A and B are shown apart, each in its own frame.
Chain A
Amino acid sequence: MERKTKVNAGDGQQDIVITREFNLPLELLFKAHAEAELIEQWMSHEYGTTKFVKLESRKHGSWQMETTDAQGKVAFRANGVIHEFVPNQKITRTFEMEHSPFGVQLELYVFEKLSDDTSKLTMHVIYESVAQRDQVLKLPFSQGLNMAHNRLQDIVSKLK
């Protein structure tokens, strides 16, 4: 099965490229990256709710968002500035997780029309160093590993 979202992270490089093709018209894909209430919807999940403190979707605008856990406690806050904002084409912004050792990252989002109903997003993310990139990549891995491990234990315990 072809995997829809592709991540290219070359060994020893300090950037990654994430690509994804969507069954959505270009305008809707872009909108989903430009309007706070839409981003909040797709960024939130069962473990955390994402809300923007502010989002100025324009050149030289800035943004700040926070994610709260199920108990309503702020789990983390992130912010950055928008360097470039070209509707249906490109967003260039910085991203920094507050009070974290991960540094600031430069994110270049390129939006492309594939057909009337399909579109493609290419996210190029550049980190301060190779080590910081690898740390960020490992974040969901350590969380995921715990979850996978719990699942494995569930499965194995059912076998007994």
Chain B
Amino acid sequence: MIIRRDVFQAIADPTRRAILVLVATQSMTAGAIAANFDTARPTVSKHLQILTECELLEQEQTGREVFYHFNPKKMKEVADFIEPFRKMWDDRFDKLENIMKKYNPDSNRGKK
């Protein structure tokens, strides 16, 4: 199965958002990033992989170490403000769907 790496999915995760906040202030190695979390190291690596795949983070080899940089250009894409608007409607429509699923028609409209 191919999982599409999409920026919005990437930032939907709280740990990944926390990673972005960390790396936004300074470039860091995977080890230094992981040291900030209780989460297991492989889990952090997975988060870094996702963030890198969707280009929110960039890797740079310096000697033997790989540093992660924050990519503000990609972040701007996220900030392209459509997503909160979409989310607002998505939430409203989810609610609409739930309300109407419980809706009891007064009239006899037969099979629903």
Interfacial residues, chain A to chain B (CB-CB below 8 A): 1, 3-7, 9, 18, 20, 22-25, 27-29, 31-32, 38, 41-43, 45, 116-117, 121, 134, 137-141, 143-145, 148, 151-152, 155-156, 159
Contact = CB atoms under 8 A, between A and B. Distances in A.
Contacts of A9: 82
23 contacts: A4-B94, A5-B86, A7-B86, A18-B86, A20-B90, A22-B93, A22-B96, A22-B100, A29-B96, A38-B103, A41-B95, A42-B95, A45-B95, A117-B112, A137-B81, A138-B81, A141-B83, A141-B84, A144-B84, A144-B88, A152-B17, A152-B21, A155-B18
Interface of B: 9, 14-15, 17-18, 21, 36-37, 79, 81-97, 99-101, 103, 109, 111-112
Contact of B14 (A20, A25, A139, A155): A155
State the majority secondary structure of interface residues on B: helix
A138 B88 CA distance: 12
Contacts of A139: 85
Contacts of A32: 96, 99-100
State the majority secondary structure of interface residues on A: helix
Nearest to A43: B92
A23 B101 CA distance: 8
Given A1-B9, A140-B84, A143-B84, A151 B89 contact: no
A5 B103 CA distance: 22
Given A7-B85, A144-B84, A155-B18, 13 more contacts: A4-B90, A5-B86, A5-B90, A22-B97, A31-B103, A32-B99, A42-B92, A45-B95, A116-B111, A121-B93, A137-B81, A152-B17, A159-B36
Nearest to A29: B100
A40 B15 CA distance: 35
